[in-house]
Chains A and B, each alone.
Chain A
């Protein structure tokens, strides 16, 4: 009798691993039967998780931390034993704005685009019509990446530009209608805006932080403890799916599955583009190849580094206000559970890092790291501004932020 797990998700390309774990038989191979529940807002994905409609959820990582810390609602401790992927988002601007700040049709240089954008932001603010950006949720990596980039370019979020929540399916509409001047969203929604001529992609978030944490598999902490065996089986199934997912031989078939009505209900062509790291920057052009636009498997990408959770917490302090709290920092760090990931994969052929935390952004080239098992060579993981994030000095890092 397969053990049954229900997983909530939002119809985005990076919901790929749970969907394909079910469809490609990896869950079954681990003795699991997965039921997937699709919703249209993160609030509802979260409610279903908290009230037991789902056992686990595809969730934006900062929301798992915010829920644990009780931001916006009473605290409920969540755990993330598996990272569903890094990056995979882009910044898409209204075509007129894109022409001003990134004249060439290319993924621009983040500093240069930011500098040009600062000039426009100043003009628009002076004219009483500040630039306005849409992000998918206030507790999303999209929001934090966009803010990190803007602030690093001398544009103060909230003071110089407005940032508002726009649900992904309405991002293209909002650009088209002039409700926002730019969006930071995951695929396929940038491509939908491009296809409609409503926007041009100017940056991938991987240019802001080359290895930025994105979605996690989130569970209520007690559920993780009670169903530990099943969750570890799920982690093994998801890793096997990730390995399969990044193999070009499977892109076509996987895109077709993800496009189905019960999943993303979208265009297999657009999805295939995203999972093969191809981006059509503007309508009528040829897609460009941007390696590691999405990052689902290599370098133990699914390993929940505690330092990733801590970086997200520093951004929450930065943008929520309320100041740094050592207790909150510890609770936030505790959301990411490398111990569970290790326990699930110990003795398999999957590499496991030796450490559970690392200085983020410090690598500019190939670096072999110590492991518990297997070999791991990390690549460039830098932030666009060259800063490092040392998890041993959160307050120092916060104090040095622009």
Chain B
């Protein structure tokens, strides 16, 4: 079975490819380039096309599939009415699938399930990464705010932190938000 993964994110495509590699008798093709997409799909002649929902080329691809009714192997959106839940899960995960005419749903399902799991895993990975980055950035901002307070008011680091914490508690906000306000205000006042 020939599977084309169309994804502008090369790293996500790699994660999905790796997942699908576990399935027997599958040849996997990754397409990340927007230009020449339709020609590339034509060359690959896939049985299944997986494309992320955020891909602006989806309408182009669907038009190609609609026109391909005239071709030897028509491709259509995979909508298995007997199992709407699986399709809904794939939409939730952010992936849509198109299959060549006549391919049995039981051959498609394991591939779709795997793709969905991989999409979800990738989304979690990204969320973790964003959270870690956010935490790091917050810590830096707090450090800078402490430094500003220490310099401008001649207080110690623990005192500066206590000030930030007290203000945050008084205002019902997070320390990082207060620190951000301090840094912004400092910038506005001409500080570096």
Contacts and interface: CB of A to CB of B under 8 A. Distances in A.
Contacts of B105: none
Given A47-B91, A53-B91, A72-B66, A41 B59 contact: yes
B93 to A, nearest CB: 11
B87 A51 contact: yes
Mostly, the A contact residues are loop
A167 B59 contact: yes
A44 B52 CA distance: 9
Interface string B57-91: 11110110110000000001101010000011001
A137 B92 CA distance: 24
B185 to A, nearest CB: 24
Nearest to A177: B35
A41 B55 contact: yes
Contacts of B28: none
B166 interface: no
Interface residues on B, range: 20 to 34
Contacts of A73: 76-77, 79
B59 A74 contact: no
B89 to A, nearest CB: 9
A72 B91 contact: no
A165 B38 CA distance: 11
A53 B63 CA distance: 23
A170 B65 CA distance: 20
B174 interface: no
Given A167-B56, A169-B56, A43 B62 contact: yes
Interface string A37-58: 0011111100110011100000
A124 interface: no
A116 to B, nearest CB: 28
A44 B54 contact: yes
A19 to B, nearest CB: 20
A52 B85 CA distance: 12
A217 interface: no
B177 to A, nearest CB: 20
A167 B60 contact: yes
B91 A51 contact: yes
A72 B62 contact: yes
A170 B56 contact: yes
Contacts of B59: 41-43, 136-137, 165, 167
B87 A40 contact: no
A218 B34 CA distance: 29
A74 B79 contact: yes
B53 interface: yes
A74 to B, nearest CB: 5
A345 interface: no
A137 B76 CA distance: 17
A246 interface: no
A72 to B, nearest CB: 5
A72 B54 contact: no
B66 A138 contact: yes
B87 A44 contact: no
Nearest to A41: B58
Contacts of A97: none
Nearest to A51: B91
B96 A47 contact: yes
Nearest to A71: B66
Contacts of B60: 164-167
A39 B34 CA distance: 17
Interface string A56-82: 000000000000000111100000000
B88 A51 contact: yes
Contacts of A138: 63, 66
Interface in A146-173: 164-167, 169-170
Contacts of B55: 40-41
Nearest to A165: B63
Nearest to A179: B35
Contacts of A52: 88
- Pick the most buried of B57, B59, B92: most chain A CB atoms within 10 A of its CB: B59
A39 B54 contact: yes
Nearest to B81: A74
Interface string A248-268: 000000000000000000000
A253 to B, nearest CB: 25
Contacts of A165: 59-60, 62-63
Contacts of B92: 51, 53
Contacts of B66: 71-72, 138
Given A40-B56, A43-B96, A169-B56, 7 more contacts: A44-B53, A44-B54, A72-B62, A72-B65, A73-B77, A165-B63, A170-B56
5 contacts: A44-B96, A47-B96, A167-B57, A167-B60, A169-B56
The 10 closest A-B pairs by CB, nearest first: A41-B58, A43-B58, A165-B63, A40-B56, A167-B56, A51-B91, A44-B53, A73-B77, A41-B59, A165-B60
